[in-house]
């Protein structure tokens, strides 16, 4: 067997594999002998079928199969030994004069070669790395939300601002009849609110659906009208009040603190606010980090210039799926995926140059941390090491989970690399301003 390579240019090559009869014939003869032992052909005893008949019936199929096996093994070994970094898979070239009745064969494969390039994290313009802070307004609003969530409802005879009223919306012509609990702060404008203020149980209030709520989608929830109908609905509805409740906020006392965070973990309003700030900024950190990953990715794709074996990749896309694509479809698919492919190559280069590796212990630690968070949500605040080890082992026995976790650990390593080596400028913002800047 002989394998040679002709480099067409820096991104394309053709590999020729020459296979002689002595390379494949011993394997073909062995397979045919095994077939002869087990062949069940009418008129012959098992194991006594003439070899010529076996050769005639199975010879070509066995030959093709064994040559293809030999070819794939040889090509794979060659790419590994030559350390060729290829894109996609080798594509066989059509050969008009190929004949299986010959003794010796030559196969040709097109290769798309990975480009050579360098990645510079010290980009020309600095990339903004956001530090998102929880300001006093956000923290105070969160305290009010907690008090409301853990508060209690007190029945009343007369409605006031901030109350909840239970009743039934009706409009016979539109087929509307829905009993619901309506928080009065959901209503839009003083005019609608004033119709409820001072109303009593048993009163019926007439309302216009147009402009009843800030968001027309609330008509879907409270009146149970169809989504498509909600946006243009402009009819009168009645609302008969059956119940009025005032939501009394929970006291900021030790009982509430223990319920929220566990016994004795928080002992004052000051500590409560500190904990809210810590938790919020921990979640904001994840958003900030994800944004940094996105921004560095975009900048590296923009500034890292290299060519790709475009024609080869379009050919490969054309034939590599379940269904063969037309040349035009393959071109469109390539154009959609080119940006992602470029970043895969850039990311691979960063991982190689900085010797980033994912260790099994890192996967296990990440898994255990996530299990602890999940168990805490169900009130199990202090799981044993044995429980964590057992659950982590079960999770890591799933190869799909291991793959996902490996990607997440590697993303964390890349993020740390960007924070250390990229040209970043830090900017402290509130969450509201972060949303305005990033999503504009």
Q: What is the pLDDT of residue 412?
A: 94
38 pLDDT band, cuts 50/70/90, is confident
pLDDT over 80 (residue 45): no
Structural contact between residues 141 and 439, judged by C-beta atoms closer than 8 angstroms: no
Q: Are residues 178 and 68 in the same domain?
A: no
Residue 279 lies in a domain: yes
Q: Which of 248, 264, 285 is the last residue of a domain?
A: 248
Does 439 or 358 have the greater pLDDT score? Answer: 358
- The whole-number average pLDDT for the span 401-421 is 95
Note whether 196 and 94 are same-domain residues: no
The percentage of residues in the chain with a pLDDT greater than 70, rounded to a whole number, is: 100
Question: Do 240 and 279 belong to one domain?
Answer: no
The DSSP string of 140-186 is HHHHHHHHHHT-EEEEESB--TT-EEEEEEEETTTTEEEEEEEEGGG
Q: How far is CA 27 from CA 1, 21, 23, 59, 105, in A?
A: 14, 10, 8, 12, 16
Mean pLDDT, residues 198-207 taken together:
96
Task: Supply the range of the domain harboring residue 13.
Answer: 2-113
pLDDT digits (tens, 9 = 90+) for 61-82: 999 999 999 999 999 999 999 9
User: Mind listing the pLDDT tens digit for each residue in 263-305?
Assistant: 899 999 999 999 999 999 999 999 999 999 999 999 999 999 9
**Residues 31, 98 within the same domain:** yes
User: Does residue 259 lie within any of the structural domains?
Assistant: no
Average pLDDT over residues 336-357: 95
Domain check: are 304 and 202 in the same one?
no
295, 406: one domain: yes
Beta bridge partners of 246: 154
141 in a domain, yes or no? no
The reply to whether 221 and 312 lie within a common domain is: no
Q: Is residue 42 very low, low, confident or very high in pLDDT (cuts 50, 70, 90)?
A: confident
Assess contact for 107 and 19: CB atoms under 8 A: yes
Say which range, 185-194, 375-384, 397-406, has the weakest mean pLDDT.
375-384
- The answer to whether residue 407 scores a pLDDT higher than 80 is yes
Q: What average pLDDT is seen over the chain?
A: 93
Count of domains observed in the chain: 3
Residue 434 domain flag: yes
| DSSP character string of 97-146 | T--TTSSSEEEEEEEEEPPP----SS-SSPEEEEEEE--HHHHHHHHHHH
Confidence at 231, pLDDT banded by 50, 70, 90: confident
Residues 428 and 300 in one domain: yes
**Where residue 94 falls among pLDDT bands split at 50, 70, 90?**
confident
Mean pLDDT computed over 21-47: 85
377 has pLDDT over 80: no
Q: Is the pLDDT of residue 4 over 80?
A: yes
Whether residue 411 lies inside any domain: the answer is yes
Is the pLDDT at 124 greater than 90? The verdict is no
Q: Whose CA is closest to 229, among 256, 210, 203?
A: 210
Do 302 and 341 belong together in one domain?
yes
Q: Report the phi/psi class of residue 362: left, alpha or beta, with left for phi > 0 and alpha for psi in -120 to 50.
A: alpha
How buried is 415 (Cβ within 10 angstroms: 0-12 exposed, 13-18 middle, 19+ buried)? middle
Taken in order 65, 66, 70, 76, is the CA torsion positive or negative?
positive
pTM: 0.74
Contacts for 417-422: CB closer than 8 Å, 24+ residues apart: 417/121, 417/350, 417/354, 417/356, 418/121, 418/292, 418/293, 418/296, 419/129, 419/292, 421/121, 421/122, 422/121, 422/122, 422/123, 422/127, 422/296
pLDDT at 262 over 90: no
Residues 308 and 398 in one domain: yes
On whether residue 62 sits in a domain, the answer given is yes
Note the pLDDT of residue 197. 96
> Which of these three, 62, 87, 113, is where a domain ends?
113
Residue 243 is part of a domain; what is its CATH number?
3.10.50.30
Whether 146 maps to a domain, the answer reads: no
Please tell me the distance from the alpha carbon of residue 120 to that of residue 306, in angstroms, as a whole number: 13
CA separation for the pair 301, 408 (Å, rounded): 21
In this structure, are 323 and 416 located in the same domain?
A: yes
Do 9 and 61 have their domain in common? Answer: yes
- Mean pLDDT for 383-409 is 92
């Amino acid at each position: 067997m002989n394998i040679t390579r002709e480099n067409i240019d820096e991104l394309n090559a053709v590999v020729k594999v020459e296979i002689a009869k002595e390379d494949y014939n011993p394997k073909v003869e062995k397979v045919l002998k095994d077939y002869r032992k087990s062949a069940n052909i009418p008129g012959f005893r098992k194991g006594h079928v003439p070899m010529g008949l076996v050769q005639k019936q199975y010879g070509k199929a066995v030959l093709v199969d064994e040559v293809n096996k030999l070819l794939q093994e040889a090509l794979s070994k060659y790419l590994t030994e030559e350390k060729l970094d290829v894109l996609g898979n080798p594509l066989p070239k059509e050969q008009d004069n190929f004949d299986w009745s010959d003794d010796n064969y030559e196969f040709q494969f097109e290769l798309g070669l990975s480009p050579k390039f360098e990645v510079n994290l010290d980009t020309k313009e600095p990339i903004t790395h956001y530090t998102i802070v929880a300001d006093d307004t956000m923290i105070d609003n969160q305290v009010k939300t907690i008090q409301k969530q853990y508060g209690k409802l007190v029945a009343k005879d007369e409605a006031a601002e901030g109350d909840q009223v239970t009743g039934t919306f009706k409009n016979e012509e539109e087929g509307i009849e829905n009993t619901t609990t309506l928080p009065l702060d959901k209503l839009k404008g003083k005019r609608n609110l004033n119709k409820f203020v001072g109303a009593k149980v048993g009163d019926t209030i007439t309302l216009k659906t147009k402009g009843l709520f800030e968001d027309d989608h609330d008509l879907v929830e409270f009146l149970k009208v169809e989504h498509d109908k909600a946006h243009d609905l402009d009819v009168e509805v009645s609302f008969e009040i059956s119940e009025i409740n005032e939501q009394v906020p929970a006291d900021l006392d030790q009982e509430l603190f223990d319920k929220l965070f566990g016994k004795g973990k928080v002992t004052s309003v000051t500590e409560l606010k500190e904990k809210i700030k810590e938790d919020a900024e921990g979640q904001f950190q994840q958003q900030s980090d994800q944004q940094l990953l996105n921004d560095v990715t975009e900048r590296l794709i923009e500034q890292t210039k290299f060519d790709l074996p475009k024609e080869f990749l379009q050919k490969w896309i054309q034939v590599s799926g379940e269904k063969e694509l037309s040349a035009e479809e393959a071109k469109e698919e390539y154009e959609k995926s080119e940006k992602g492919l470029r970043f895969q190559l850039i990311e691979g280069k960063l991982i190689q140059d900085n010797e980033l590796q994912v260790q099994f212990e890192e996967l296990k630690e990440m898994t255990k941390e996530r299990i602890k968070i999940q168990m805490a949500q169900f009130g199990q605040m202090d799981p044993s090491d044995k429980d964590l080890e057992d659950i982590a082992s079960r999770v890591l026995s799933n190869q799909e989970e291991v793959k996902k976790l490996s990607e997440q650990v590697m993303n964390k390593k890349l993020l740390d690399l960007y924070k250390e080596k990229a040209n970043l400028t830090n900017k402290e913002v509130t969450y509201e301003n972060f949303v305005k800047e990033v999503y504009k």
